[in-house]
Structure 1
Amino acid sequence: MSTVVLPGSFDPFTLGHLDLTRRAAALGHQVIIAVSHNPSKQGMLDLETRKAAISASVEDEGLTATVEVRTLPKGLLVDFCREIGAGAVVRGLRSQLDLAYEEPMARMNRHLARIDTIFLLTDSASSHISSSLVREVHGLGGDVSDMLPGPSLDALRRASPVS
């Protein structure tokens, strides 16, 4: 079984993220979900809350044998991959815009450390979902319950209850 890393800020962890996790594990990979802090994004959930919600979602799906949730340390993703013996990074692609954003990083990771990137097309049912849109819709009082696993929805409601 090879180890792959699914990195992201996951603020919040969506059903799209859960689908990528499930599919990467189904391909025979040990999946490390590497939760990071992205200083360029306006976050809603703190790192420990995100990790707890993701861990609970993974447990609810019965994936604890093949999926582990960790904090991504500061530094290069490829250094983390080498440290844990991961051979690849998994990234989801919703559109051509995602590919345009992800491709240079995938090439750089390959250049720096011979770490490949596995691109999985998102399921069409969740291709419109992004964490930032979920935060925006939730913040404006919209219903995001069909976009998040239960633990993420609970964490989002606790962090920002909508009146």
Structure 2
Amino acid sequence: MKTAVYPGSFDPITNGHLDIIKRASKVFDEVIVGVLINPEKKGLFNVEERVELINSVIKYIPNVKVESFSGLLINFMRQKDAKVIIKGLRAVSDFEYEFQMSLMNSKLDPNIETVFMMASSGNSFLSSSSVKQVAMFGGCIKGLVPDNIIPDIISKIKSL
């Protein structure tokens, strides 16, 4: 069984993330969305909320599951017996950073490969940061994130 991990903060998950998840689920037997716990970053949603939001939008994709992790991605990969890291790329600037991370991960464990998936053209401008900023200033985030989590994002922002 070929298991891949799609790591990220997903704060919140966007339609770009969801597109990569759907496409990866067609390529790999199992996809684990790995939600990174970064104690140095204060996100909009805590890690449990992010896992719950992602689960609410991927529940109809049978070979995808969501788990949180902390520490090195390579250690999480080994725990899950996963051999492939999935990375979504929006622009050349993403590639430069992700290429360096890929080389580091390869140095840490040469048995783990990184697969880059290009963002669909309609999602190439999307980021969780931009979604949060638009929402914080009262802009419309429909079409940027899955419809069913829009109320969660609006509610969270209003509670700040």
Cα separation, 1, equivalents of 2:40 and 2:114: 23
Give the structure 1 partner of residue 143 of structure 2: 146
Root mean square deviation, CA, Å: 1.5
Aligned counterpart for 1:136 among listed residues 133, 138, 142: 133
Give the structure 2 partner of residue 155 of structure 1: 152
Q: Which amino acid aligns with 2:93?
A: L
| Structure 2, unaligned runs of 5 or more | none
Cα separation, 1, equivalents of 2:40 and 2:148: 25
Number of positions where the alignment pairs a residue of Structure 1 with one of Structure 2? 158
| Offset at residue 150 of structure 1 (A) | 2.6
| Structure 1, unaligned runs of 5 or more | none
2:97 matches 1:98 = no
Closer, same or farther: CA 94–77 of 1 in aligned 2, 3 Å: same
Q: Is the 8 A contact 2:25 2:63 kept in 1?
A: yes
Give the structure 1 partner of residue 57 of structure 2: 57
Give the structure 2 partner of residue 7 of structure 1: 7
Q: Is the 8 A contact 1:3 1:85 kept in 2?
A: yes
| Offset at residue 39 of structure 1 (A) | 4.5
Aligned counterpart for 2:85 among listed residues 82, 89, 109: 89
| Offset at residue 6 of structure 1 (A) | 0.4
| Offset at residue 30 of structure 1 (A) | 0.6
- Comparing 5-14 and 31-40, the one that deviates more: 31-40
Cα separation, 1, equivalents of 2:29 and 2:136: 36
Moved over 3 A (4+): 38-42
Cα separation, 2, equivalents of 1:29 and 1:120: 17
2:121 matches 1:124 = yes
| Offset at residue 145 of structure 1 (A) | 1.5
| Offset at residue 120 of structure 1 (A) | 0.2
Q: Is the 8 A contact 1:10 1:131 kept in 2?
A: yes
Q: Is the 8 A contact 2:4 2:83 kept in 1?
A: yes
Q: Which amino acid aligns with 1:58?
A: I
Give % identity: 36
Cα separation, 1, equivalents of 2:86 and 2:146: 20
Q: Is the 8 A contact 1:14 1:152 kept in 2?
A: no
SS in 1 for 2:145: coil
